[in-house]
Amino acid sequence: MGNITFTMIKPEAVEAGYTGAILSRIESEGFRIVAMKKVHLTPERAGNFYAIHKERPFYNELVEYMSGGPIIAAILEKDNAVADFRLLIGATNPAEAEEGTIRAEFAESLSKNAVHGSDSDENAIIEADFHFSHAERF
């Protein structure tokens, strides 16, 4: 068993019909889906999830966007999950994301960047716990 990371396929990518293609990339890169659901976050839940960014100028826009439509939330397992997943998704700004990364292929812009990936093992656990009970993990 490897360690975990947490991801969300963001509203604009779900709306565009990229869910299947993104999940296919994730699985073909060796990540195992431990838990997954489609959920429409309330502004309050989205704000709590991104509370770490509360003081940033883009916080309100981020909360509005992330609560603007359903997302796919998932826990992924693999050795070195956090770092390998960040390599797979590419830079936060898709203009800087390397060719072949998920954001280079599917993201629209810095704010609408298709997918979220945890930035540390500690945050992966916090974010996974935010969305999933232990009974929902397999």
Site for ligand CMP contains 104 (CB under 6 A)? no
Candidates 26-34, 39-47, 106-114, 126-134; binding stretch for ligand CMP (CB under 6 A): 106-114
SS3 at position 131: helix
Contact with ligand CMP (CB under 6 A): which of 92, 104, 105, 108?
A: 92
Among 62, 91, 104, 125, which residue interacts with ligand CMP (rule: CB under 6 A)?
62
> Can you list the alpha helix ranges (DSSP code H) found in 57-120?
59-66, 81-89, 102-106
d(CA 81, CA 87): 10
Residue 116 near ligand CMP by CB under 6 A: yes
Cα 76 to chain center, whole Å?
10
Can you tell me the distance from the alpha carbon of 5 to that of 124, in angstroms, rounded to the nearest whole number? 5
Residue 39 vs residues 1, 66, 71, 91, 109: alpha-carbon distances, Å: 27, 11, 6, 25, 22
Under the criterion CB under 6 A, does residue 19 sit at the interface with ligand CMP?
A: no
Would you count residue 83 as binding ligand CMP (CB under 6 A)?
no
Query: Quick check: is 116 catalytic?
Result: yes
**Minimum distance of ligand CMP from residue 92's CB (angstroms):** 5
**CB-based contacts of 113, cutoff 8 Å, min separation 6:** 10, 92, 93, 94, 103, 107
Based on the shown chain and the rule CB under 6 A, indicate whether residue 23 belongs to the binding site for ligand CMP: no
- Report the residue from 19, 21, 77, 111 that binds ligand CMP according to the rule CB under 6 A: 111
Out of 7, 67, 101, 113, which residue is the one contacting ligand CMP (CB under 6 A)?
A: 113
For the annotated catalytic residues, the residue numbers are 116
